[in-house]
A and B are shown apart, each in its own frame.
Chain A
């Protein structure tokens, strides 16, 4: 046999790729990433989830800026 079979569904594989890309772009945080991937793959991510994820990452980034809370 060539390689170990990838038992993940296309949704799960794409969710992994998308989550990594969003993380690299600083649009989401690494905390809760697995839950985010599961929601994405299952089609369970709601509009408010997206606003929450991205809003949280932005607030965290602002806190780290000079003059921020941290």
Chain B
């Protein structure tokens, strides 16, 4: 597809103080732009760079310059500047948007590779890191490197998981060995700990679990009965004390005199009468007494009762004490009866549990209280032994559970370990492949660049014993590309030390062209800005031949030069006119700016 530049229009851009149109001949793959120094060649190249690469062009290599301030033509501002480019029948334009260069329709911009004289030597003289940047586009596989890192992480994580599983299995094996040894290594030497654990793990634990339950039940009932018996004892002691206190209160009342019982009944009667008067809803004045049916004056009667009660205070207190002591005794007796009933019930329950406990305990079941109390005492003596038996049963169950758990861990981990190990090996193998292919891929690309560079170089310097041996990624540094050359049969030399300047120029140009060719896939415009300066006649012809041959690999080749050799050769038809066009620039003036003659196949007469 023909995507050649047809026209570049520079408005207030660098040397273009007005609007300058540079017209190309799109039928011809190569265009030479000839102009004396200062005629505006670099401005045109920068304009192409400005649109296609949104780059400031040659200003990027110059210190103390700012594109926004120095790309506009002298006396103009960034807002006045514009570049328009027609390529393959389409138009793109670029200008400043703030400090940023903004091209129209960025996604479809023509691909343009620009090489300037000033950067030629840099390609060879560059640091490995700078050289890497030149080739980064071809060998940058950040996405794949990130995926490779994820694979490395996966392999490492899987290794850790495998280690954990292995450790867990070994721990289980050690535990089984310990259990087996503690048991006296049954079945040895025919069996090992794992065989033993296998047989143990299928043992029936129902009987031992039932025994554990019975023992626990027995201990619980014993503890409950013993607790209730103690409680009964405390209640009996309390009742006895209360009985003594009631007897003492009675004796004190009796000692108050022979008429004391009657006086106490009188006190009770008077208190009742006083209560009756106080509780009456209305005044009793004039009403009849409900006992003697005499008319009474309430206040008077109340006063008289109070006087009588006061006269019998000491006796009243004795009466109160006696009544309280009797009530306390009765309550204590009630508690004793309740606790006795509870204790007897708990003791019978204990007796039942003994009956079904299948332990060496008294089996005769007493029915009376004394027998039941004795039973509690007898069984209580064996409590520690019962607890020991219960703990033993629990220990057996725990041991069984542990053995089963460890045995299962060993057995189940076998398959898991096999799978985990296989996955780890698979991940590591994949990592090996991914890494190998990545390195091989990059080396293939680099070898392709090297071979192409050497092929181009040999076109300019045939039969000369020098060339690029290897482009090599520095394994120890990220983003670093080593360059190894040979000279006179000696390999691994730095070209800067042995190659002449023109050879270095050529090597740089060939490396750049090889990169441009491989990166564009035939779909690029190549712009060479005054790259070939002082070339002798022989090499001029070879470079020309190279351009004629290599232009097939690009959409378009644009060569700017101030060398009259090119113009003269063109005029002398020593440059094939069927493939080339010639644009000549006239002298620059501030008022006229860049003045370009139309592309033609013959130069303007001098």
A interface residue numbers (CB < 8 A to B): 1-7, 10-11, 13-15, 17-18, 21-22, 25, 27-28, 39-51, 54-55, 57-58
What are 16 A-to-B residue pairs whose CB atoms are below 8 Å?
A: A2-B522, A2-B553, A3-B522, A5-B522, A10-B138, A11-B142, A14-B141, A15-B144, A18-B434, A18-B437, A43-B145, A48-B154, A50-B151, A50-B154, A51-B154, A55-B419
Q: Are B441 and A13 in contact (CB under 8 A)?
A: yes
Choose one: A25, A27, A28, A44; the contact of B147 (CB below 8 Å). A44
Shortest CB distance A9–B (Å): 8
Beta-carbon nearest neighbor of A26 in chain B: B426
Residues of A near B434 (CB, < 8 A) are 18, 22
Shortest CB distance B310–A (Å): 99
Q: Are B521 and A6 in contact (CB under 8 A)?
A: yes
Q: A2-B522, A58-B422 are in contact. Are A40 and B147 (CB under 8 A)?
A: yes
Q: Are B521 and A7 in contact (CB under 8 A)?
A: yes
Choose one: B139, B143, B426, B445; the contact of A41 (CB below 8 Å). B143
For residue B433, CB closer than 8 A to chain A, the reply is yes
Shortest CB distance B255–A (Å): 99
For residue B264, CB closer than 8 A to chain A, the reply is no
Beta-carbon nearest neighbor of B146 in chain A: A43
Give Cα distance in the complex from A28 to B430, angstroms. 9
Interface residues of B in 427-442 (CB under 8 A from A): 427, 429-430, 433-434, 437-438, 441
Give Cα distance in the complex from A44 to B144, angstroms. 9
- Give the A-B contact count at a CB cut-off of 8 A: 106
Say which size band chain B's interface belongs to.
Answer: 35 or more
Choose one: B138, B427, B521, B552; the contact of A54 (CB below 8 Å). B427
A-B complex: 7 closest residue pairs judged by Cβ atoms: A5-B521, A43-B146, A43-B143, A47-B154, A45-B147, A11-B143, A50-B154
Residues of B near A54 (CB, < 8 A) are 423, 426-427, 430
Shortest CB distance A56–B (Å): 10
Choose one: A5, A17, A45, A55; the contact of B437 (CB below 8 Å). A17
Give Cα distance in the complex from A48 to B552, angstroms. 48
Residues of A near B139 (CB, < 8 A) are 10
Residues of B near A27 (CB, < 8 A) are 426, 429-430, 433
Residues of B near A18 (CB, < 8 A) are 144, 433-434, 437-438
Give Cα distance in the complex from A45 to B144, angstroms. 9
Choose one: B144, B426, B520; the contact of A11 (CB below 8 Å). B144
Q: A40-B143, A54-B430, A55-B423 are in contact. Are A49 and B150 (CB under 8 A)?
A: yes
Give Cα distance in the complex from A50 to B153, angstroms. 10
**Apart from A5-B521, A55-B423, 7 more pairs, CB < 8 Å:** A11-B142, A17-B437, A18-B437, A49-B150, A50-B154, A50-B427, A58-B426
Q: Are B150 and A46 in contact (CB under 8 A)?
A: yes
Interface residues of B in 18-50 (CB under 8 A from A): none
Give Cα distance in the complex from A1 to B553, angstroms. 5
Give Cα distance in the complex from A47 to B430, angstroms. 12
Give Cα distance in the complex from A15 to B145, angstroms. 10
